Amino acid sequence: MRVPFQLTDLQPFSFVVDGKLHSYADSARLAFKPNLAANIEETIIQTSDGRKVWLTVVGADEDPGPYGIQRGWYTVQVLDDASAGVLVKAFAPWAADLH
């Protein structure tokens, strides 16, 4: 399900997994695959309670601001360890390009 969001100023991004609110800043980013031309970010993260999720964030604005996507929608898919591992490996080439 798409969840709309609108951040203000320097408000941190947060997302809901099975009814529980999680802060992006308090989660561990395991893998990241940006699509800058489409203003989409795909991230495999581990939440502070240990769950692994595939977080897709789609920006509603044509270009992200200096602090990233501030308005749009996101989806969250809970992953088992094996699926998370496969996606982390698949996203590895994009992560290497970011360093």
93 falls in which pLDDT band (50, 70, 90)?
Answer: confident
97 falls in which pLDDT band (50, 70, 90)?
Answer: low
* Helix (H) or strand (E) segment spanning residue 91: helix 81-97
Total-model pTM: 0.89
Per-residue pLDDT at 99: 47
pLDDT tens-place string over residues 11-52: 899 999 999 999 999 999 999 998 888 899 999 999 999 999
Q: Are 27 and 52 in contact (CB under 8 A)?
A: no
First to last CA, the chain: 32
